[in-house]
Amino acid sequence: MKKKYEYDEYPQYYFKDIPTNLGDKLPKFTKIPYVIPINSSNDIVEVFNVNAEGFQAHTGVGFGNIQMAKVYFNIMIIENK
């Protein structure tokens, strides 16, 4: 039987900890922004539980029962007005 994963197992990313590509801080979002993952390899990155403070992300690719230790990806964050 496959193990059912809970969202608590996936890393949480906070917008306050993520700089822009120029090194500036992101604004505080009053509405939930659009978060689009851009993978840096052949992995599939899923983004979920997006709210005004952050989001969770997970890679859906593994080899058999082995998940990759690190997956590098970029994100595009678009303010929702």
- DSSP per-residue letters across 14-63: EGGG-B-TTSPBPPPPSSPPEEEEEESSS--EEEE---SSEEEEEE--EE
Domain that holds residue 49: 7-78
At 10-64, the pLDDT tens digits run: 889 999 999 999 999 999 999 999 999 987 777 788 898 999 999 998 876 555 5
Residue 40 resides in a domain: yes
On whether residue 38 sits in a domain, the answer given is: yes
Q: How many domains does the chain have?
A: 1
Instruction: Evaluate whether residue 1 is within a structural domain.
Output: no
Judge whether 2 lies within some domain. no
Predicted TM-score (pTM) of this structure: 0.76
In a domain? residue 23: yes
21 falls within a domain? yes
